[in-house]
């Protein structure tokens, strides 16, 4: 049973990672990051259930809190960039380089 | 063996207890004149003369107090202060040797101070000149009065500094600036010898005080090494071979400087050093003493030969100074028998050479500072006092019977013939050459046809210059007889330098003495034929190979240049090349390598967020893979 959950978690993480790497739209990239975080949450909860204590589930809550905070800041940044540059593409925001 | 040297007695009170005033007076003079600068311009020269005279007065009083003691108590030490705790106590040693020097330095020094008032009257930096002269007198007195080698060395360096400042006094003349530098550098070589010699004395005997060193009777390798190192120091300061080259160039300084420093006093410091160290490191018959005598004999010939070819009156006198100090060194290398004559010749030479130099200065003063003797001629009627005093100095230096030089130089020659016959007969030959070149100088300057430049108006110098000349020529007349006859100086110096087994008696008709007189007469006659009777060309003729040899200072400069200067230059060039290519190459190469590689490395920062995400992913995957591989997960 655990294996199935872990495979699902792995799939979700892979999809999220692939999305971060290949999508240009900042909102989509952002959603993919959320997907990766939640894949991790799923793995935590699964192991928590198998081991039989609550530590994994507590960590999952922590991850959710962090994710929520990240959304707040991240979305604000994306909106600001969009307002100034009329673009939500992550490749357009490339001034900070060598 | 010679009788022992008297013990040094501690002394307090009296004039001797105040003998530090001798040094303090001129030092204060130099300080005031240098620190208060232009404010002292109007009366600075008078202060300088007053300080020198005050010093002379103290020296005379100290002399009479010293004579009041019994012969064995005539070495008085005055403790001043602890200089280097546990190592050197600074004190003054007032004994017959040092007081003789002090009297010569302050006496002749004061006369030259007075003369300088007139000689430098047209120089806008006269005040600075007197400051340096006072500084010199103070340093020279410290040199001869100090009771240890450290004090002597401080004075030694002090006179070197004063000499440098005064040779380069007219520093707007490049030749003067270069000559000053040359004197300083050549003296460094000698100072190196003195310094290493002092180190050796300290490590071997554990003391640097004259009073604590023990006289030796036979030498060992250590004392021989110390003796030779001290001789190197003496050679530098006294312009003896092989460190003679600076003295001729030093004539770029004002003439009173040449008279005081480069004839009468400073250049004799080497003789003082040898005589003062004589009992400790130059015992009679030792290798070190023989080296001193050989150096002296070689230099007296070299200086005389150089003197024969110079047309510059001061350079001719400088060659003669080298030669006469060579005589003193020869005497100082003969043990206690020679010391008295060496010091006696030093004192009489101080008078007649200062007389000659100041006479030359007086001639130059009247001839628009012309120094070329080929532009003189027939000056004896226009400058009667200068001529008379110069002529007395001339007779004294060639050893005309009964004048000063006759007694002291003849004493050295006879002692040398007795102890070192070969060197002694070389000294006789040197006396003959002296007769030639000094006569040449007198004939070219005061006799013969006028060969003056058109704008020259020769005139006698003011009395402030001629009176010192007269006093000095009195010394040149009678001092030698006073010092040498009945061995006055020898007996006076005996407590300080020892006494020979048998006292020398002065013979007026000894073989070396008569030979000397004959050779001098031949030399003078030859000079009369060439420069007195015959017309002197006012342009320097080409001259033979020998003349060129002497004119070029026996190729001393060329030798120094090819032996030391060129290899030194190559060495510096090699060092510069190594520094540029080697050291700088490594440092610059390292910096360029790091800069270049980091320039390429920063291209990784593309600015695309997704690239960074990919590298993070790859990193995480690699890390996980590695952990899996080692099986720690």
Q: CATH code at A41?
A: 1.10.287.3510
Q: Does residue A20 belong to the interface with chain B, where contact is any CB pair within 8 Å? A: yes
Interface probe, candidates B601, B605, B610, chain A, greatest A C-beta count within 10 A: B610
Q: Does residue A91 belong to the interface with chain B, where contact is any CB pair within 8 Å? A: yes
Q: What angle do CA B260, B295, B439 make, to 5 degrees?
A: 55
In this predicted structure, the answer to whether residue B502 has a pLDDT above a threshold of 80 is no
Interface probe, candidates A16, A91, A92, A95, chain B, greatest B C-beta count within 10 A: A91
Residue A92 lies in a domain: no
Q: Based on the domain organization, do B533 and B623 belong to the same domain?
A: no
Predicted confidence at residue B3, as pLDDT, reads 46
In eight-state DSSP terms, residue B4 is P
Q: Based on the domain organization, do B426 and B282 belong to the same domain?
A: yes
Q: How far apart are CA B284 and CA A47, in angstroms?
A: 109
Cβ burial B302-341 (10 Å sphere, 16+ → b, else e): bbbbbbbbbbbbbbbbbbbbbbbbbbbbbbbbbbbbbbbb
Average pLDDT over residues B218-242: 89
C-beta atoms surrounding B607 within 10 Å: 13
Residue B392's nearest CA partner among B361, B353, B448, B429 is: B353
Q: What is the dihedral of CA B490, B495, B497, B501, to 10 degrees?
A: 60
Average pLDDT over residues B135-151: 92
Predicted confidence at residue B121, as pLDDT, reads 84
Q: Based on the domain organization, do B285 and B385 belong to the same domain?
A: yes
B377 in Cβ contact with B371 (< 8 Å): no
Q: Does residue A36 belong to the interface with chain B, where contact is any CB pair within 8 Å? A: no
Q: Based on the domain organization, do B506 and B621 belong to the same domain?
A: no
Name which residue leads in pLDDT, B454 or A92.
Answer: A92
A28 Cα to chain B: minimum distance (Å): 13
Q: Based on the domain organization, do B337 and B445 belong to the same domain?
A: yes
Sort A57 into a burial class: Cβ within 10 Å, 0-12 / 13-18 / 19+. Answer: middle
Q: Based on the domain organization, do B418 and B359 belong to the same domain?
A: yes
Residue B414 lies in a domain: yes
- Which residues in A lie closer than 8 A to residue B603 (C-beta atoms)? 98
Residue A32 lies in a domain: yes
B423 in Cβ contact with B293 (< 8 Å): yes
CB contact under 8 A, B617 and A21: yes
Q: Based on the domain organization, do B187 and B282 belong to the same domain?
A: yes
Closest-CA residue in chain A for B602? A98
Largest Cα–Cα separation, chain B: 120
In eight-state DSSP terms, residue B528 is I
Residue B525 lies in a domain: yes
Q: Based on the domain organization, do B321 and B349 belong to the same domain?
A: yes
| Selected residues 605-624 of chain B with any CB under 8 Å from a CB in chain A | 605-610, 613-614, 617
B383 in Cβ contact with B403 (< 8 Å): no
- Which residues in A lie closer than 8 A to residue B610 (C-beta atoms)? 20-22, 29, 90-91
Q: Give the number of A-B residue pairs with CB atoms closer than 8 Å.
A: 31
CB contact under 8 A, B606 and A90: no
Name which residue leads in pLDDT, B459 or B395.
Answer: B395
- Which residues in A lie closer than 8 A to residue B606 (C-beta atoms)? 94, 97-98
In this predicted structure, the answer to whether residue B194 has a pLDDT above a threshold of 90 is yes
Joined tokens for residue B210: 């004259």
Residue in the structure block whose two tokens are 């070197």:
B160
Q: Based on the domain organization, do B621 and B573 belong to the same domain?
A: no
Q: Based on the domain organization, do B361 and B508 belong to the same domain?
A: yes
Residue A18 lies in a domain: yes
- Which residues in B lie closer than 8 A to residue A94 (C-beta atoms)? 606-609
Q: How many structural domains comprise chain B?
A: 3
Query: Band of the pLDDT at B633, cuts 50, 70, 90?
Result: low
**Cβ-Cβ contacts under 8 Å for B549 (sequence gap 6 or more):** B305, B309, B555
Q: Does residue A15 belong to the interface with chain B, where contact is any CB pair within 8 Å? A: no
Predicted confidence at residue B4, as pLDDT, reads 65
Query: Band of the pLDDT at B623, cuts 50, 70, 90?
Result: very high
Query: Band of the pLDDT at B51, cuts 50, 70, 90?
Result: very high
Predicted confidence at residue B619, as pLDDT, reads 95
Residue B229 lies in a domain: yes
Q: How many structural domains comprise chain A?
A: 1
Closest Cβ–Cβ partner in B602, B604, B607 for A95 = B607
- Which residues in B lie closer than 8 A to residue A17 (C-beta atoms)? 617
Q: How far apart are CA B134 and CA B147, in angstroms?
A: 22
Closest Cβ–Cβ partner in A17, A29, A94 for B608 = A94
In this predicted structure, the answer to whether residue B539 has a pLDDT above a threshold of 80 is no
A83 Cα to chain B: minimum distance (Å): 19
Sort B206 into a burial class: Cβ within 10 Å, 0-12 / 13-18 / 19+. Answer: exposed
Q: What is the dihedral of CA B494, B496, B497, B501, to 10 degrees?
A: 30
Domain span at residue A13 reads 3-85
Q: How far apart are CA B391 and CA A89, in angstroms?
A: 111
- Which residues in B lie closer than 8 A to residue A93 (C-beta atoms)? 609
Residue A54 lies in a domain: yes
C-beta atoms surrounding B204 within 10 Å: 14
B230 in Cβ contact with B213 (< 8 Å): no
Average pLDDT over residues A39-68: 93
**Cβ-Cβ contacts under 8 Å for B483 (sequence gap 6 or more):** B344, B347, B348, B407, B408, B489
Residue B96 lies in a domain: no
Residue B34 lies in a domain: no
Average pLDDT over residues B383-391: 89
A50 Cα to chain B: minimum distance (Å): 18
Average pLDDT over residues B500-508: 77
Q: Based on the domain organization, do B399 and B537 belong to the same domain?
A: yes
ipTM: 0.87
Q: How far apart are CA B416 and CA B586, in angstroms?
A: 63
Predicted confidence at residue B563, as pLDDT, reads 84
CB contact under 8 A, A90 and B610: yes
| Phi–psi pair at B9, nearest 5 degrees | -105, 140
Joined tokens for residue A46: 């699964």
B571 Cα to chain A: minimum distance (Å): 48
Q: B344 by DSSP, 3-state: which?
A: helix
Q: Does residue A27 belong to the interface with chain B, where contact is any CB pair within 8 Å? A: no
In eight-state DSSP terms, residue B420 is -
Predicted confidence at residue A93, as pLDDT, reads 82
Q: Does residue B601 belong to the interface with chain A, where contact is any CB pair within 8 Å? A: no
Q: Specify the pTM.
A: 0.78
Residue B185 lies in a domain: yes
CB contact under 8 A, B607 and A21: no
Question: Which stretch of DSSP H or E encloses residue B79?
Answer: strand B76-84
Cβ burial B58-86 (10 Å sphere, 16+ → b, else e): bbbbbbebbeeeeeeebbbbbebeeeeee
CB contact under 8 A, A90 and B607: no
Q: Does residue A17 belong to the interface with chain B, where contact is any CB pair within 8 Å? A: yes
In this predicted structure, the answer to whether residue B1 has a pLDDT above a threshold of 60 is no
Could you give the strand order of the β-sheet that contains B88-94, starting from the edge strand earlier in sequence?
B9-10, B76-84, B88-94
Residue B73 lies in a domain: no
Residue A97 lies in a domain: no
Q: How far apart are CA B541 and CA B535, in angstroms?
A: 12
- Which residues in B lie closer than 8 A to residue A90 (C-beta atoms)? 608-610
In this predicted structure, the answer to whether residue B538 has a pLDDT above a threshold of 80 is no
If you average pLDDT over every residue of chain B, what do you get?
87
Interface probe, candidates B599, B613, B615, chain A, greatest A C-beta count within 10 A: B613
In this predicted structure, the answer to whether residue B506 has a pLDDT above a threshold of 90 is no
Domain span at residue B612 reads 603-633
Predicted confidence at residue B2, as pLDDT, reads 43
Interface probe, candidates B607, B611, B617, B621, chain A, greatest A C-beta count within 10 A: B607
Q: Does residue B600 belong to the interface with chain A, where contact is any CB pair within 8 Å? A: no
Q: Does residue B587 belong to the interface with chain A, where contact is any CB pair within 8 Å? A: no
| Residues belonging to chain B | 633
Q: B91 by DSSP, 3-state: which?
A: strand
Predicted confidence at residue B53, as pLDDT, reads 93
Q: Which of B298-302, B445-449, B505-509 has the lowest mean pLDDT?
A: B505-509
**DSSP of B568-622, one letter per residue?**
HHHHHHHHHHIIIIIIHHHHHHHHHHHHHHHHHHGGG--S-HHHHHHHHHHHHHH
Closest-CA residue in chain B for A94? B607
Percent of chain B with pLDDT over 90: 29
**pLDDT, tens digit (0-9, with 9 covering 90-100), for A25-49:** 999 999 999 999 999 999 999 999 9
C-beta atoms surrounding B12 within 10 Å: 9
Closest Cβ–Cβ partner in A20, A22, A91 for B608 = A91
Predicted confidence at residue A67, as pLDDT, reads 94
Strands (E), chain A: none
| Selected residues 457-496 of chain B with any CB under 8 Å from a CB in chain A | none
Query: Band of the pLDDT at B543, cuts 50, 70, 90?
Result: confident
Q: Does residue B598 belong to the interface with chain A, where contact is any CB pair within 8 Å? A: no
Sort B436 into a burial class: Cβ within 10 Å, 0-12 / 13-18 / 19+. Answer: buried
> Of A25-34, B215-224, B335-344, B468-477, where does the model show the most confidence?
A25-34
Residue A95 lies in a domain: no
Joined tokens for residue B357: 């130099």
Joined tokens for residue B434: 């002296």
Q: Based on the domain organization, do B320 and B347 belong to the same domain?
A: yes
């Amino acid at each position: 049973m655990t294996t199935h959950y872990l495979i699902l978690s792995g799939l979700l993480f892979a999809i999220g990672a692939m999305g971060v790497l290949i999508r240009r739209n900042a909102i989509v990239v952002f959603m993919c990051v959320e997907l990766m975080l939640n894949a991790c949450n799923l793995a935590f909860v699964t192991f928590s259930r198998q081991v039989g204590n609550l530590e994994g589930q507590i960590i999952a809550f922590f991850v959710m809190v962090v994710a929520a905070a990240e959304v707040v800041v991240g979305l604000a940044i994306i909106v600001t960039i969009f307002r100034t540059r009329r673009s939500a593409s992550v490749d357009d925001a490339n001034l900070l380089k060598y | 063996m010679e009788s022992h040297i008297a013990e040094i007695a501690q002394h307090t009170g009296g004039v001797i207890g105040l003998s530090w005033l001798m040094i303090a007076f001129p030092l204060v003079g130099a300080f005031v004149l240098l620190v208060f600068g232009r404010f002292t311009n109007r009366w600075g020269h008078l202060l300088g003369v007053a300080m020198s005279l005050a010093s002379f007065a103290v020296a005379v009083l100290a002399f009479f107090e010293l004579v009041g003691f019994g012969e064995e108590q005539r070495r008085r030490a005055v403790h001043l202060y602890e200089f280097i705790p546990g190592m050197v106590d600074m004190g003054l040693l007032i004994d017959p040797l040092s007081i003789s020097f002090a009297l010569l330095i302050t006496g002749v020094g004061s006369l030259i101070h007075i003369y300088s008032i007139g000689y430098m009257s047209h120089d806008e930096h006269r005040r600075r000149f007197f400051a340096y002269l006072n500084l010199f007198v103070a340093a020279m007195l410290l040199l001869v009065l100090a009771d240890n080698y450290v004090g002597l060395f401080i004075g030694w360096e002090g006179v070197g500094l004063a000499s440098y400042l005064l040779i380069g006094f007219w520093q707007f003349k490049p030749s003067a600036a270069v000559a000053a530098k040359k004197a300083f550098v050549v003296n460094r070589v000698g100072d190196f010898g003195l310094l290493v010699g002092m180190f050796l004395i300290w490590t071997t005997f554990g003391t640097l005080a004259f009073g604590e060193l023990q006289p030796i009777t036979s030498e060992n390798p250590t004392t021989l090494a110390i003796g030779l190192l001290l001789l190197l120091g003496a050679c530098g300061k006294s312009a003896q071979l092989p460190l003679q080259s600076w003295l001729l160039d030093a004539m770029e300084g004002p003439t009173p400087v040449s008279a005081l420093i480069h004839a009468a006093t400073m250049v004799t410091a080497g003789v003082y050093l040898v005589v003062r160290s004589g009992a400790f490191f130059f015992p009679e018959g030792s290798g070190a003493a023989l080296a001193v005598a050989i150096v002296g004999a070689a230099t007296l010939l070299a200086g005389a030969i150089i003197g024969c070819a110079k047309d510059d009156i001061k350079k001719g006198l400088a060659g003669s100074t080298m030669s006469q100090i060579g005589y003193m060194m020869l005497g100082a290398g003969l043990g206690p028998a020679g010391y008295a004559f060496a010091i006696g010749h030093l004192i009489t030479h101080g008078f007649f050479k200062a007389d000659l130099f100041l006479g030359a200065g007086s001639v130059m003063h009247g001839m628009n500072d012309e120094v070329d003797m080929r532009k003189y001629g027939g000056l004896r009627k226009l400058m009667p006092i200068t001529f008379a005093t110069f002529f007395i100095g001339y007779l004294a230096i060639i050893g005309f019977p009964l004048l000063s030089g006759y007694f002291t130089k003849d004493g050295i020659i006879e002692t040398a013939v007795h102890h070192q016959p070969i060197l002694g007969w070389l000294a006789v030959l040197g006396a003959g050459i002296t007769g030639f070149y000094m006569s040449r100088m007198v004939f070219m300057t005061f006799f013969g046809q006028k060969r003056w430049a058109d704008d020259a108006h020769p005139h006698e110098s003011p009395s402030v210059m001629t009176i010192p000349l007269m006093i000095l020529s009195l010394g040149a007349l009678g001092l030698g007889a006073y010092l040498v006859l009945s061995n006055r100086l020898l007996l006076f110096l005996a407590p300080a330098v020892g006494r020979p087994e048998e006292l020398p008696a002065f013979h007026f008709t000894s073989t070396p003495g008569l030979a000397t007189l004959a050779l001098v007469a031949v030399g003078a006659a030859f000079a009369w034929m060439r420069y007195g009777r015959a017309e002197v060309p006012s342009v320097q003729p080409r001259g033979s190979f020998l003349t060129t040899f002497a004119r070029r200072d026996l190729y001393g400069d060329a030798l120094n240049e090819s032996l030391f200067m060129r290899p030194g230059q190559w060495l510096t060039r090699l060092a510069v090349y190594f520094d540029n290519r080697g050291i700088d190459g490594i440092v610059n190469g390292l910096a360029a390598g790091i800069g270049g590689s980091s320039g390429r490395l920063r291209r990784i920062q593309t600015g695309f967020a997704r690239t960074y995400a990919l590298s993070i992913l790859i990193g995480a995957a690699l890390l996980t893979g590695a952990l899996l591989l080692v099986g720690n997960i």
